[in-house]
Amino acid sequence: METLVHIAVRLLESPAVQTAVIGAVAWAFVKLFERKTEWVKYKGYIIAAVKFAEKSVPDDAENKALRRMDEAMKRFITLYEIAEKAAPSANLLDTVRAQISVVHDQLESEGTL
């Protein structure tokens, strides 16, 4: 009598299961790539928001980093709503929130902040 391990191994070796696994991995990769690149088309809005926040919150302000992040998010939302005539999705806002620091560091290293 075969053990469960042998049955599981034979199932995993079958072409149908291998095809299903490869398909699932490819689908997940496409979804991940789509989410990562969604923010790129709004990079100009992010740059404008970061520069606006940098100018609007003084360097000696209390909680400077948090206030600048808040200002940048507010500015991004305003710019997005003006251009797109709709509110940004929660997923886009999460992605933008993560990218604001990256864009800030990039602008600072380029000396364009």
pLDDT digits (tens, 9 = 90+) for 4-39: 888 877 877 888 777 877 877 777 777 666 656 677
Whether the pLDDT of residue 3 is over 90: the answer is no
Residue 73: predicted pLDDT: 96
pLDDT digits (tens, 9 = 90+) for 34-91: 656 677 888 999 999 999 999 999 989 899 989 999 999 999 999 999 999 999 999 8
Residue 76: predicted pLDDT: 96
Q: For the CA atoms of the chain, what is the radius of gyration?
A: 23
81 compared with 106, residue with greater pLDDT: 81
Structure tokens at 45: 């809005």
Q: 1 burial class (0-12, 13-18, 19+ CB within 10 angstroms)?
A: exposed
Please state whether the predicted TM-score (pTM) of the whole model is above 0.85: no
DSSP assignments along 15-43, one per residue: HHHHHHHHHHHHHHHHHHHHHHHHGGGGH
